[in-house]
Structure 1
Amino acid sequence: MTHPVGQHYAGRSAIVTGAGSGIGACLSRALVTAGASVVCADLDGTTAAAVADPIGARAVALDVTDAAAVQALVDEVEPDLLFNNAGITFGGETEDLTLEQWNAIIDVNIRGVVHGVAAAYPLMVERGSGQIVNTASMGGLMAAGLITSYVMTKHAVVGLSLALRSEAAAKGVGVTVVCPSAVDTPILDKGHVGMFHGRDYYLKGQGVRHPLSPEVFADQVLEAVAENRAMLVTPRTARIAWRLGRYFPGFIQRSSVRFVAEQRKWQEARALATR
């Protein structure tokens, strides 16, 4: 590793969005352990405080869909590192998604990241230093049915991150996008539409017997950022699947069609069993 993790983060300031639970909470704890000064930002200020208070971080209630609020926080903190981590998900048949749900996921997962970039990137360019870290997903690298809106938003985050990195490199600013497969966080149990069941989809359906620990993932993210890597794809099985998809897209697409058919059978069986 080019920079030891502790040396890279010691004394640096960081904002983490979506810090009230899951990946954001673990990133916040890992950053504090590494010596950073952390602002835990979350839509729910109470959950942000529950994460921040025990580790000596600062908690802020922040709606990432509010561009002015994001700008104000960035202007105040002038962070060395910005982790655009806040996100939501919806899973189910695409025809069952409402326009309100489409707009909600676009607002949080895409515009929320854009608001962070628009606020922090010019500041970092002017300063000649800083790093932006965007949380995407394997869903941003490979397409899977029944999480269509989520896949759309995460593809956008990957594209934004890689394009921005090519500009930022000459200006002293690092950009990293992180693409995990299933991480064991509350998001697996949220955003269900119709008969969709997140844990079956990600764990049973995709063969991820053991979802990635958010603590382990947070450590991997900090290492990737310290190395100024363009992308983190994890775990190893996810990297293999991604490479297969690049070399054999037809095979992956056929597998995806079969996967959706199997999911529908499991959903119907579960619905019958719970009647």
Structure 2
Amino acid sequence: MRADVDAHFAGRTAIVTGAGSGIGAALTRALVAAGAEVVCADLDEVAASRTVTSVTGPGTARAAALDVTDAAAVQALVDSVDPDLLFNNAGITFGGETEDLTLAQWNAIIDVNIRGVVHGVAAAYPRMVRRGSGQIVNTASMGGLMAAGLITSYVMTKHAVVGLSLALRTEAAAKGVGVTVVCPAAVDTPILDKGYIGKFHGRDFYLKGQGVRHPLDPDVFAAEVLQTVADDRAMLVTPRPARIAWRLGRFFPGFVQKQAIGFVAKQRRLQDKRARKALKAAA
């Protein structure tokens, strides 16, 4: 039976990281609409403030500057809010050939996508355990369930987030704390247009690679997330074509791996074609 979302979130406090845009902003809007008191945290406080001005509903929102790679800053924010819910959502991506990634880029994506989640868990989970209640919601990706090259560093980090979430849930269940990981296919956010290396083209890769013709609307996705959290489910995999692809991979991993190799080869051909076209247009 589906839980009543408004009843679940009304009056509860939440921190959402990476809330200045994209999924984080949509989660903030959905939570406020459901009556929650939300701290909209982002490295860019101006962007977080813009999100705050976009919310409507019975709940409240305020902006906070937060670098999730700074464990002390995360701890300080959690201590000041003592949230009922923590949405570890901040993330970055790099797309391109793995040999072109610098060590600094590897470290940056590990720091934000893995350590950023760990910092949130380390700060909030012990408080929730002592209180005997609370929920942690980690944003992963279809990239955390299936693997394709050209976004190798991103896939690595999101697999880690999935593993952390599912393992922690088995501990937390007996302590009154819920843990949920959300694994969407491409969501129509600025991340689709960032982190390009070389000839990589994000929208082409993320949409065609996950079998989704159009990216998910962030607000539609946020509504799905809140329902999943209210139902205290372990994982959300969405939309339906992504769920089918994930299940296929579980039963036929060799077939899916072969398809992924073919997909990477096709992407390289498309990237070369796009680069030649751009050079011709510039000549």
Considering the TM-score relative to the shorter chain, is it more than 0.5? yes
Alignment of 1:4-153 (within 5 A): 4-55=4-55, 56-153=60-157
Code of the aligned partner of 2:215: P
Alpha-carbon deviations, 1:124-176, whole Å to 9, x = none?
Answer: 00000000000000000001110000000000000000000000000000000
Code of the aligned partner of 1:41: A
Distance 2:2 2:54 in 1: 31
Identical-residue share of aligned pairs (%): 79
Q: Pick the aligned partner of 2:246 from 239, 242, 247.
A: 242
Q: State the SS of the aligned residue for 1:57.
A: strand
Alpha-carbon deviations, 1:4-41, whole Å to 9, x = none?
Answer: 00000000000000000000000000000000000000
Q: 1:3 Cα shift?
A: 2.2
Contact between 1:162 and 1:230, CA under 8 Å: does it hold in 2? yes
Alignment of 1:164-203 (within 5 A): 164-203=168-207
Q: Which runs of 5+ in 2 are unaligned?
A: none
| 2:165 aligned partner | 161
The root-mean-square deviation of aligned C-alpha atoms, in Å, is 0.8
| 1:257 aligned partner | 261
Shift >4 Å, 4+ stretches: none
Code of the aligned partner of 1:39: V
Code of the aligned partner of 1:164: L
Distance 2:103 2:229 in 1: 36
Contact between 1:15 and 1:79, CA under 8 Å: does it hold in 2? yes
Contact between 1:71 and 1:119, CA under 8 Å: does it hold in 2? yes
Contact between 2:144 and 2:158, CA under 8 Å: does it hold in 1? yes
Contact between 1:88 and 1:187, CA under 8 Å: does it hold in 2? yes
Distance 1:156 1:205 in 2: 20
Distance 1:91 1:21 in 2: 20
Q: Which runs of 5+ in 1 are unaligned?
A: none
Code of the aligned partner of 2:28: S
Contact between 1:125 and 1:171, CA under 8 Å: does it hold in 2? yes
- Scaled by the length of structure 2, the TM-score of the pair is 0.96
Distance 1:230 1:205 in 2: 25
Distance 1:112 1:52 in 2: 22
Q: State the SS of the aligned residue for 1:14.
A: strand
Alpha-carbon deviations, 1:219-266, whole Å to 9, x = none?
Answer: 000000000000000001111000000000000000000000000000
Contact between 1:205 and 1:263, CA under 8 Å: does it hold in 2? no
Q: 1:209 Cα shift?
A: 1.1
Q: 1:119 Cα shift?
A: 0.1
- Scaled by the length of structure 1, the TM-score of the pair is 0.99
Code of the aligned partner of 2:12: R
Q: 1:205 Cα shift?
A: 4.6
Distance 2:209 2:176 in 1: 42
Q: Aligned pair in 2 of structure 1 residues 61, 3: CA closer, same or farther (>3 Å)?
A: same
Distance 2:64 2:54 in 1: 15
Q: 1:54 Cα shift?
A: 3.9
